[in-house]
Chains A and B, each alone.
Chain A
Amino acid sequence: MQGSYNDAGRFIPSHISGYGKTRPFHYEDEYSPHIQHRVPTRDKVPCSVTDLPEAISLSGLKDGMRISFHHHLRLGDLVVGLVLEQLEELGFRDLVLCASSLMGPACASVLRAVQAKVVARIETTGLKEPLTDAVLQGEIPQPVIFRSHGGRARAIEAGEIPIDVAFLAASAIDVQGNLYGCTGKNPFGSMGYAHPDAQYAKTVIAITDTRVEGQSLPISIPSKWVDLIVEVPAIGDARLIGGGSLRISQNPLELVIATQALGVLQASGMIRDGFNYQAGSGGISLLVSMLLNSHMQAHHIQGGFASGGITESLVAMAQNKLFHTLYDVQSFDTGSAASLAGNPFHKEMGASQYANPYHPGCIAHALDVMILSATEVDLDFHVNSITGTNGRILGALGGGPDTAYGAKLTVVVIPSFRGRIPMIHEHVNLVCTPGGSVDVVVTERGVAVNPLRPDILALLQASSLPVVPIRTLMEQIYMLTGRPHFPARTAKVVAAVEYRDGTIIDCLWR
């Protein structure tokens, strides 16, 4: 197999089936934007239709084209299943499915569509059971392409993944054809991940279960980006948007890790007036936010903005004036969805504004602190957030590579081991976020600082935190767990991870 090793030390084939020629990841490329951010000018009059088959027919969709979805309804999504079932009935074949992520019932629907040959390729930031096994067993005809949220927005805007038809769930649509996420029978909040799809897709089919007469605010997607409107009995169940990786952890060990992480933020001097903050969706990350809330209140610190997926607890922090603005690309619970509709400090942002590396106002690049979850970390501080050590797909890229790159301090929070499987290795199974973007790894057994950040190392060493070299930390963990055996690889690529700039940072081999 022809290919080369990239800057993450990974072998990248020069060509991936269904994807084409690859560009291996290089650190220096991160700083040289070769694609300029552009916003298309479209001005359409949406046409209301009665049902989905007619909309599909009017969209001009053909076999082999690319369709897209957002995942704002998370575990409560019914739209992906509804559309794929219809496409199967209409006899479509070999479509490319490009989703902002796949979770909950959507995954079973996509697998059915793959088995029915409706879908031949999947592009996403993450996927869950039962799709995961199908990917690893090579049941998807072409390799899955994982893109971060920022990378997906960039690729859409750059024309690298032209979307032919975007099927976008909206919780309500008004008579002018404007799309809302905050009102209706199933309000799910921000429609941020759908913005690039709406702006750049050749045809946008908006799907809702609620039509409203008058216009209200905030409009998530204006009617000028919408072609067709379909009304269905239910787009899903908004009560389930708080599922997935959004539990508030009751695990005492995770509280220990979160407490250490807060210690890192304090010792590094990052918690100060005006600091901008984001935490990922894992249980430990959410605990860090909870502890940060108490710390900021106790010390009368007012941050700048908090961004990314927004939770009720972040809304409460903003209400207490701990952050002046919430930039919401995705509402993580019904409370934050309601807040987006009513609170002036709570603003919806599109995926491109959030994390596109070439967006001039990229919010991720203005972050001071990013708390990142991971499934594995290695001695080069590379982070895996998709697969476990055993190679199974567990998580998603999310906005991890984008925010880690942009934040002044990126802290990975991770237990030393899960079950009996250690979480720090010489080499991760799959590189998702390059070590160059990661500053500190926090476990319950110690805190490791990337040697690229001697400034942070000096600050943490002057604190009472248990700072240890990452190799020492790994050896301490191995002392308890033993050295893990890694899964054998074949020569077949079942998935590729595209870095946010469009280069390939790693491949998942069958």
Chain B
Amino acid sequence: MRSWLYTPANTPNRMIQAGMYGSDGIIFDLEDAVALSEKDEARLLLEGLLPLIRASLERTHPAVKIAVRINGLDTPYWQDDLKAVVGSGGAIIRVPKVESAAEVEEIAHALSLLEAELHIPDGSVHLQVLLETPRGVEEAFRIGAASPRVIAFSFGAEDYCSALGIHRNGPRVALDYPRARIASAASACGIEAYDAAYGFLDNADALVLECAHAKALGFHGKSAIHPKQVAAINGEFSFSAQEVREAKAILASLEKNQDGVSSLEGRMIDKPVIAWAHRVLAAAEGNR
């Protein structure tokens, strides 16, 4: 998944249209985008709209995935959020500010209870975990390994920068460490990693650079906070035509030589290279 577009869960018009902008996924946000005084209304609205939007997207944009960012586990809202989302058929939950494996276990347990109550197969609701604090970043691997429900990490750069007292738009190197650690931990857990949303909407060039940088560090995609960011994100996180050709050539060379280790134009083709080629072609197929 290359792009996830955030949409406030209290704006029905924008929610209905969110899947139209070409992002691979959309995230209805019950957390930061919704004022404290509107949490209940937004949850009720989401509960009513989610089945409709899902059914509509299945007809027009079946590849688009829907996630919901619930309120954090340190708030009184998250359990009601969870009930509303799962009860209305939501299958991916983005959980903010996770800092420990115990928190994942807590929400996973709550989901199991809900799934049993709603006669949904156990484990069918998945989690994207937002790592937004230095502690969450340091705990990344244990968080990812805490439950098979965890299917992705998402980096939250604003809170991370705030914790360290650095500027979000400062030297890019400042965020290299958390990015690399998150991407590495995601890979170790066999899950995807999405880079933080970029909040400077009018700086399209910087967005492209940030995407390229995150991709180079091993991220699969990035969150977007405005539809106009989607095309750039998709573009940067897609494998290039050259990479697709290379992946095809690698797999083709395997078919010719099934005796074990082979080579292509002087490059040794071993297991990791083959895995890379499969990843490229799977992504290219998924992005069609």
Contact = CB atoms under 8 A, between A and B. Distances in A.
B100 to A, nearest CB: 38
Contacts of A445: 20, 60
Nearest to A415: B17
Nearest to B16: A480
B227 interface: yes
Contact of A466 (B52, B60, B226, B227): B60
Interface string B13-25: 1001100111000
A253 to B, nearest CB: 5
A445 to B, nearest CB: 5
Nearest to B227: A252
A402 interface: no
A256 B5 CA distance: 15
Contacts, number: 34
A252 B228 contact: yes
Contacts of A420: 12-13
A476 B59 contact: yes
Given A419-B13, A476-B60, A256 B52 contact: no
A27 B53 CA distance: 40
A227 interface: no
Interface in B232-264: none
Given A444-B20, A480-B16, A252 B226 contact: yes
B268 interface: no
B56 interface: yes
A217 interface: no
Contacts of B226: 252
B60 A480 contact: no
A442 B16 CA distance: 18
A253 B56 contact: no
A446 B16 contact: no
Interface in B30-89: 52-53, 55-56, 59-60
Contacts of B228: 252, 255
A479 B52 contact: yes
Contacts of B12: 420
Interface string A52-90: 000000000000000000000000000000000000000
Given A252-B226, A419-B13, A466-B60, A480 B20 contact: no
A253 B18 CA distance: 9
B20 A479 contact: no
Interface residues of B, number: 16
B58 to A, nearest CB: 11
B21 A252 contact: yes
Contacts of B60: 445-446, 466, 476
Interface residues of A, number: 13
Contacts of B22: 256
A420 B228 CA distance: 23
A483 to B, nearest CB: 14
A219 B124 CA distance: 74
Contacts of A479: 52, 55-56, 59
A258 to B, nearest CB: 13
Contact of A256 (B13, B20, B55): B20
Interface in A408-449: 419-420, 444-446
Nearest to A253: B17
Contacts of A255: 227-228
B21 A476 contact: no
Contacts of B17: 253, 444
Interface in A133-190: none
B225 to A, nearest CB: 12
Given A419-B13, A445-B60, A253 B20 contact: yes
Which among A252, A256, A444 has the highest number of chain B CB atoms within 10 Å? A252
Given A252-B226, A252-B227, A420-B13, A480 B56 contact: yes
A419 B56 CA distance: 17
Nearest to B17: A253
Nearest to B14: A253
Interface in A437-478: 444-446, 466, 476
Contacts of B13: 419-420
A241 to B, nearest CB: 28
A237 B208 CA distance: 43
A435 B249 CA distance: 51
A466 B226 CA distance: 23
Contacts of A480: 16, 52-53, 56
A249 to B, nearest CB: 12
Contacts of A476: 56, 59-60
Contacts of B53: 480
A446 B59 CA distance: 10
Given A420-B13, A480-B16, A256 B21 contact: yes
Interface of B: 12-13, 16-17, 20-22, 52-53, 55-56, 59-60, 226-228
> Nearest 3 pairs between A and B by C-beta?
A252-B227, A444-B20, A445-B60
15 contacts: A252-B21, A252-B227, A252-B228, A256-B20, A256-B21, A256-B227, A420-B12, A444-B17, A446-B60, A476-B59, A479-B55, A479-B56, A479-B59, A480-B16, A480-B56
Given A252-B227, A479-B56, A479-B59, 14 more contacts: A252-B228, A253-B17, A253-B20, A253-B21, A253-B227, A256-B21, A256-B22, A256-B227, A420-B12, A445-B20, A445-B60, A476-B59, A480-B52, A480-B56
